[in-house]
Amino acid sequence: MLKIAHHPIYHHPLKEGHRFPMIKYDLLPEQLIYEGTCNGENFFEPEIPNNKHFFTVHDSEYFFDLLNITLNQKEARKIGFPLSEVLIEREMIIADGTMKASEFALKNGIAMNIAGGTHHAFSNKGEAFCMLNDQAIGAKYLQNKGIVKKVLIVDLDVHQGNGTAEIFQKDNTVSTFSIHGKGNYPFVKEKSDLDIGLENNTKDDEYLSTLKKTLPKLIDQEKPDFIYYLCGVDVLESDKLGKLSLTIEGCKERDRFVLQTCFDLKIPVMCSMGGGYSKDVNIVVEAHANTFRLAQEIYF
């Protein structure tokens, strides 16, 4: 069965008009259950994990500044959310969701987190709605348990996974791959193991052609035991922060190709949802829901 991490804390209250659409964390599971793609048994509720898991990728000083809400004003502003104990709990629970989903993926071939994809969290700082890097934490969790040796992180959010790239820049056991908007945030990019920056307004055909030419070769080269897939839907033409021009169908085809590739090669994959900032939140929910529909179609 497809197992999906979800917790009520994912929907964190923000001031009206905030550009981050927290409501999607309620709407997405509701839609999946309403249409019959999932039922209550598909979902599990993560918890606050042991702090030791965060120290595998984050500096202890940064982590405790986050935990105690003692970041300086400049560092706190870069995160983009008003800091609070509940917000930090939320971030820790999201990371636990990714760790536990990683183990479910090993059993079932695939597992997912309704939230996550916090790829702008560096080892020693947070930015752009990201504080603790869930997929980086998940990768080291599996490796430290001795379950997997080589991990590939496939980051197809529209923004480069700069935090993930920084965390693993000297770690050859985790390969980082990012296809992103060349002219988009972060404007100073980090160096992933493989970066592909696309021009503004890139459409379905070019995007999919690039992905299909690149991913199978990369998997053959790196031979990962496990793949993390960051499937942000901010690649859509309707996205306020995106600058690329994919249709919903193109975004779905992107997900189909990644998931089918993992399935065919028998490489377990764990998916974190990443970003999506279309003005109409129903578009965001529909694009995310496609990823779950495809997971059910291909794997179960």
pLDDT tens for 78-118 read 999 999 999 999 999 999 999 999 999 999 999 999 999 99
Residue 165 has pLDDT above 90, yes or no: yes
Question: What pLDDT shows up at residue 17?
Answer: 79
Q: Amino acid identity of 87? A: L
pLDDT-based confidence at residue 184 (cuts at 50, 70, 90):
very high
Identify the band that residue 253 occupies on the pLDDT scale cut at 50, 70 and 90. Answer: very high
| pLDDT tens track for 27-50 | 999 999 999 999 999 999 999 999
Between the two ends of the chain, the Cα-to-Cα distance in Å is: 7
Separation of alpha carbons 37 and 204, rounded Å: 26
pTM for the full predicted model: 0.96
| Residue 38, amino acid | C
Least confident of 19-23, 124-128, 229-233: 19-23
User: Residue 16: pLDDT band by 50, 70, 90 thresholds?
Assistant: confident
Give the closest residue to 147 by CA, choosing from 91, 85, 105. 105
Model pLDDT for residues 110-153, shown as the tens digit of each residue: 999 999 999 999 999 999 999 999 999 999 999 999 999 999 99
pLDDT value of residue 290: 98
Residue 166 has pLDDT above 90, yes or no: yes
The C-alpha atoms of residue 294 and residue 37 are separated, in whole angstroms, by 10
Per the CB < 8 A criterion, the answer to whether 244 and 181 are in contact is yes
Q: 10 Å Cβ neighbour count for 297?
A: 12
Calculate mean pLDDT across residues 169-177. Answer: 97
Q: What is the 3-state secondary structure (H, E, C) of 188-216?
A: CCCCCCEEEEECCCCCHHHHHHHHHHHHH
Which pLDDT belongs to residue 42? Answer: 98
As a whole number of angstroms, the distance between CA 98 and CA 139 comes to 9
Burial of 35 (0-12, 13-18, 19+ CB in 10 A): exposed
Q: What angle do CA 71, 134, 7 make, to 5 degrees?
A: 95
Write the DSSP string, 232-283: -STTBTTBTTT---B-HHHHHHHHHHHHHHHHHTT--EEEE-----BSSHHH
Collapsed DSSP state (helix, strand, coil) of residue 112: strand
The reported pLDDT for the residue numbered 255 is 98
The alpha-helical segments, DSSP class H, found in 68-170 are: 73-79, 85-108, 134-144, 162-167
Beta strand 194-198 with 226-230 is unpaired
